[in-house]
Structures are given as C-alpha cells and as structure tokens.
Amino acid sequence: MRTQKTGGGVRRRITSVLSAAVLLFMYAFGMIATTGAFVAAGVSPAFAQRGRGRGRGRGGGNLGPAIGLGVGAVIIGGAIAAHAAEQQRRDAINYCMQRYRSFDPYSMTYLGRDGFRRPCP
C-alpha cells in the first residue's frame, strides 16, 4: 500500500512555506498599520508645530528605531513560531506512521479495527 505520492511531499512543503510567509506578512502588516495609527493619533498638529526650529523640542525622542526593532522582533518571532508548529506537525505524522500501518498523512487518520477512520493526534 502506498501512503505517499512522489510529488506530494514537495508540494506540501511549498504550500506550508507559502502559507507561513503569507501569515507572517499579514501579521507584520497589521503590526505596522496599528503602530502607525497609534503614532499618528498621539501627535497632534499643535504639538508637531511647537518643536519646529528648535531641535527636537521637549521629550520628542526617536520612535523610528523602536518601531523598527518591534517590527523585526515580530517577524522573527512569527518565523520561529511557524517553524515550531511545522516541526510539531512533522513529529505527529512520524509518530502516527510508526504506530499505525494504515495511517494516511493527507487526512491525518488511520483505519481502525472496526473499519472506521479515526484521527491521529
């Protein structure tokens, strides 16, 4: 009985990498948009005008590097989380393939003795 097609593994890897990249992009874009909205809402036109011509003014530090570090940390954290989730999925598939001979990795089920398909972890 064949449990895996030759092209299925490559297609699954490409799909998982693309889906992780899309999720990371959406998460990072959401963080950037939210941060930009908070920064724009926190700076009133009067406050922005007050500091002109006199350097930074009172308490006007650089938010750019902090925002950049935050976005970078979010992207790296998301990549680490996506990799950990994919590794956990691979471990579950390996466990089920060793435990049940009828395990189907595409549906994540095995054929029980009663003839019904049951999920494995």
Residue pLDDT, tens place only, 31-88: 776 666 666 656 555 555 555 555 555 555 677 777 888 888 888 888 888 888 888 8
Q: Provide the residue range defining the domain that includes 60.
A: 8-119
Other C-beta atoms lying within 10 Å of the C-beta of residue 18 = 10
Q: pTM score > 0.85 for this model?
A: no
Residue 3 lies in a domain: no
Residue 41 lies in a domain: yes
Residue 57 lies in a domain: yes
Q: The tokens 């920064």 sit on which residue?
A: 39
Residue 2 lies in a domain: no
User: In the chain, how many domains are there?
Assistant: 1
Residue 81 lies in a domain: yes
Question: Can you tell me the distance from the alpha carbon of 115 to that of 117, in angstroms, rounded to the nearest whole number?
Answer: 7
